[in-house]
Structure 1
Amino acid sequence: MEIAWMTDAQAPYREPLFCELARRGDLTVHFLFTEEPERHFRYRPHPGYASALVPCWQIPRRGPLASLDSYQAVLKPGATRPVLDADVIVIPTWAQLASAWTMLRAVRRGVPYVIFSESTLTSRRFASGPVDRLRRWLFTHAGAVVVPGPAARDASIASGVAPERIVESVNSIDLGLFGDRPREIRAGLGEGTGPDAAGHRYVYVGQLIARKNVGALIEAFARLDGSPELDVVGDGVELPALRQQAARLGVADRVRFRGFLDEDGVVEVLASTQTLVLPSLEEVYGFTPLEARVAGLHVVVSDKAGIAENLRDVDGAWIVPPDADGLFGGLEASRQAWTGWAQDVPTDSASPERSADDVLAAAKIALGGATRT
Structure 2
Amino acid sequence: MQKIDWLTGRAAPYRRPIWDVLGNRFDFQIRLLENSRQFHCRPGNRPDDWYEFGLRGADTAFVPTKRLQRGEENYYLALRSPVRRGVDGVILGGWESPAYWQALAQLKTSRRPVRSVGFYESTLASQGHKNGPIAAARRWYFRNLDAVVVPGEASAEAVAAMGVDDHRIFVGFNPVDVDWIARESTRSPLRGRGHRFIYIGQLVPRKAPLALIQAFAHCRDEADTLTIVGKGELARAVNAEIDRLGLSETVELFPTVSYQDVPALLARHDTLVLPSLTEVWGLVVNEALAAGLHVVVSRNAGVAPSVADMDGVHLCEPEREAIAQAMAASRASWAGPVRTPAILAFTPQRFADVFVRALNQS
TM-score by length of 2: 0.92
What is the RMSD of the two structures over their aligned residues, measured on CA atoms?
Answer: 1.8
Correspondence 1:338 to 2:334: yes
Give the Cα–Cα distance (whole angstroms) in 2 for the partners of residues 271 and 348 of structure 1: 16
Q: Which amino acid aligns with 2:128?
A: R
**How many Å apart are 1:44 and its aligned residue?**
7.6
Change (3 A) 1:2 1:348: farther
**How many Å apart are 1:306 and its aligned residue?**
0.7
Give the Cα–Cα distance (whole angstroms) in 2 for the partners of residues 7 and 304 of structure 1: 25
Conserved 8 A contact 1:179-1:345: no
Q: Which residue of 1 aligns with 2:166?
A: 163
**How many Å apart are 1:43 and its aligned residue?**
5.2
Correspondence 1:80 to 2:75: no
Please say which of residues 102-111 and 148-157 is displaced more in the overlay. Answer: 102-111
> What SS does the corresponding residue of 1:202 show, helix, strand or coil?
strand
Deviation track 1:313-360 (CA, whole Å, cap 9, x = no partner) reads 322111111110111011011000101101114355530110111110
Correspondence 1:53 to 2:99: no
**How many Å apart are 1:100 and its aligned residue?**
2.4
Match of 2:126 among 123, 128, 141: 123
Give the Cα–Cα distance (whole angstroms) in 2 for the partners of residues 231 and 157 of structure 1: 39
**How many Å apart are 1:134 and its aligned residue?**
1.1
Give the Cα–Cα distance (whole angstroms) in 2 for the partners of residues 337 and 160 of structure 1: 43
Conserved 8 A contact 1:308-1:319: yes
Conserved 8 A contact 1:172-1:349: no
Give the Cα–Cα distance (whole angstroms) in 2 for the partners of residues 3 and 330 of structure 1: 44
Q: Which amino acid aligns with 1:55?
A: P
Give the Cα–Cα distance (whole angstroms) in 2 for the partners of residues 348 and 360 of structure 1: 21
Q: Which amino acid aligns with 1:326?
A: A
> What SS does the corresponding residue of 1:330 show, helix, strand or coil?
helix
Deviation track 1:117-157 (CA, whole Å, cap 9, x = no partner) reads 11100011111211111111111111111111110010010
Q: Which residue of 1 aligns with 2:196?
A: 201
Give the Cα–Cα distance (whole angstroms) in 2 for the partners of residues 152 and 140 of structure 1: 15
Give the Cα–Cα distance (whole angstroms) in 2 for the partners of residues 156 and 343 of structure 1: 36
Identity of aligned residues (%): 33
Match of 1:361 among 346, 357, 360: 357
Correspondence 1:277 to 2:278: no
Deviation track 1:57-80 (CA, whole Å, cap 9, x = no partner) reads 112x3xxx33xx32111111x322
Deviation track 1:15-44 (CA, whole Å, cap 9, x = no partner) reads 111111112221100111121601244358
Change (3 A) 1:207 1:79: same
Please say which of residues 107-116 and 164-173 is displaced more in the overlay. Answer: 107-116
**How many Å apart are 1:226 and its aligned residue?**
2.4
Change (3 A) 1:270 1:44: closer
Give the Cα–Cα distance (whole angstroms) in 1 for the partners of residues 83 and 269 of structure 2: 47
Give the Cα–Cα distance (whole angstroms) in 1 for the partners of residues 51 and 151 of structure 2: 25
Q: Which amino acid aligns with 1:228?
A: D
Q: Which amino acid aligns with 2:43?
A: P
Conserved 8 A contact 1:56-1:79: no
Conserved 8 A contact 2:271-2:294: yes
Conserved 8 A contact 2:178-2:344: no
Give the Cα–Cα distance (whole angstroms) in 2 for the partners of residues 240 and 2 of structure 1: 48
List aligned pairs for 1:146-157, cutoff 5 A.
Answer: 146-157=149-160
**How many Å apart are 1:45 and its aligned residue?**
8.2
> What SS does the corresponding residue of 2:174 show, helix, strand or coil?
coil
> What SS does the corresponding residue of 1:342 show, helix, strand or coil?
coil
Give the Cα–Cα distance (whole angstroms) in 2 for the partners of residues 352 and 134 of structure 1: 31
Correspondence 1:94 to 2:100: no
Correspondence 1:294 to 2:303: no
Give the Cα–Cα distance (whole angstroms) in 2 for the partners of residues 150 and 303 of structure 1: 14
Q: Which residue of 2 aligns with 1:371?
A: none
How many aligned residue pairs are there? 350
**How many Å apart are 1:81 and its aligned residue?**
4.8
Match of 2:301 among 282, 305, 315: 305
**How many Å apart are 1:211 and its aligned residue?**
1.4
Q: Which amino acid aligns with 1:203?
A: I
Q: Which residue of 2 aligns with 1:175?
A: 178
TM-score by length of 1: 0.89
List aligned pairs for 1:109-120, cutoff 5 A.
Answer: 109=110, 110-120=113-123
> What SS does the corresponding residue of 1:290 show, helix, strand or coil?
helix
Change (3 A) 1:81 1:286: closer
Unaligned runs of 5+ in 1: 369-373
Give the Cα–Cα distance (whole angstroms) in 2 for the partners of residues 312 and 222 of structure 1: 26
Give the Cα–Cα distance (whole angstroms) in 2 for the partners of residues 172 and 85 of structure 1: 30
Give the Cα–Cα distance (whole angstroms) in 1 for the partners of residues 83 and 243 of structure 2: 55
Give the Cα–Cα distance (whole angstroms) in 2 for the partners of residues 354 and 175 of structure 1: 12
**How many Å apart are 1:97 and its aligned residue?**
2.0
Give the Cα–Cα distance (whole angstroms) in 2 for the partners of residues 292 and 168 of structure 1: 23
Change (3 A) 1:255 1:44: closer
Give the Cα–Cα distance (whole angstroms) in 1 for the partners of residues 122 and 174 of structure 2: 13
